[in-house]
Amino acid sequence: MCVLAATGCGVPTVGRAEPAGPQVVFSDDFDGPAGASPSPQWRFQTGGGGWGNNEMQTYTDDPANVGLDGAGHLAISARGTALDRITSARITTQGTFDFISGRAEARIQLPGGAGLHPAFWLLGSNIDEVGWPEAGEIDVIETLNDAPEFHTGIHTPSLGSERGEQVSASGPVPFPLAGQFHTYWVDRSPGRIVTGIDELTLFTVTPADLAPESRWVFDAPFFLLLNVAVGGDWPGPPDASTPNPSTMLVDWVRVTAR
């Protein structure tokens, strides 16, 4: 007599696999000595020229503008020797990391002051081939001036429009945005983008929310960007009250994929 429970009688046992959870596919805690450059998974975009918004800063890779602070943060600082001579930094994962579906989040302390425009955002990885807005843009968080409210949304190509269609949300939140650390996040899944701050959901968009002449281009690889812009059409110029330097501190960045 064969007792299956005891011996199996040559029949292999079949285990039940645990469901797969989110997998961390990118992370940076910005640990290292003060003044060190961020890890090679970040690349610098440098130069001036307004960057599409008539901005005033020139982006550099100078440690005075971008580097570790020695206390576990990345510091991106806008500095001016005069109101019309300003340097800052913009770093990206273009060419080193991108993702299609999952959650990208960063714990950031945003700066506040006249003319400041810090941002955590994403661009389509094919931007060098197809240009903007054809590649698509996802703005996880942007603030202006003294950061009285959040700005978040997308830019997507639209037939007959050089600047595409913008679908966005903005407004106040029940806590200060400037000068405090918060976790800013975007959750990407096929046909759906959701952004938020900490436990607060700010914005949800799907293809149904676009105008008929616009195209959904967001189910494709996108890379990460962090920068502090100054001046331009949006938000306007800095003035004598603008902190110098004005620094965005980034505690960590993480992407989890499903």
- Rounded Cα–Cα distance for residues 229 and 244 (Å): 13
CA distances from 151 to 14, 119, 147, 155, 220 (A): 51, 9, 9, 13, 23
Q: What is the mean pLDDT of residues 129-158?
A: 98
Q: Hey, which bits of 176-221 come out as E strands?
A: 181-189, 192-197, 200-205
Domain presence at residue 25: no
Q: What is the mean pLDDT of residues 149-169?
A: 97
Please tell me what DSSP assigns to residue 198. Answer: T
Q: What is the CATH number of the domain that holds 130?
A: 2.60.120.200
Find the domain containing 223 and state its range: 44-257
Domain presence at residue 244: yes
When pLDDT is cut at 50, 70 and 90, the band that residue 20 belongs to is low
Domain presence at residue 225: yes
Domain presence at residue 15: no
Average pLDDT, the chain: 93
Number of residues written out for the chain? 258
- Rounded Cα–Cα distance for residues 163 and 165 (Å): 7
Domain presence at residue 2: no
Q: Tokens standing for 132?
A: 């903007």
> How many domains are contained in the chain?
1
Domain presence at residue 184: yes
H or E segment at 6? helix 4-7
Quote the percentage of the chain above a pLDDT of 70: 92
When pLDDT is cut at 50, 70 and 90, the band that residue 45 belongs to is very high
Domain presence at residue 192: yes
pTM of the model: 0.91
Domain presence at residue 206: yes
Stretch among 9-23, 28-42, 65-79, 152-166 having the lowest mean pLDDT: 9-23
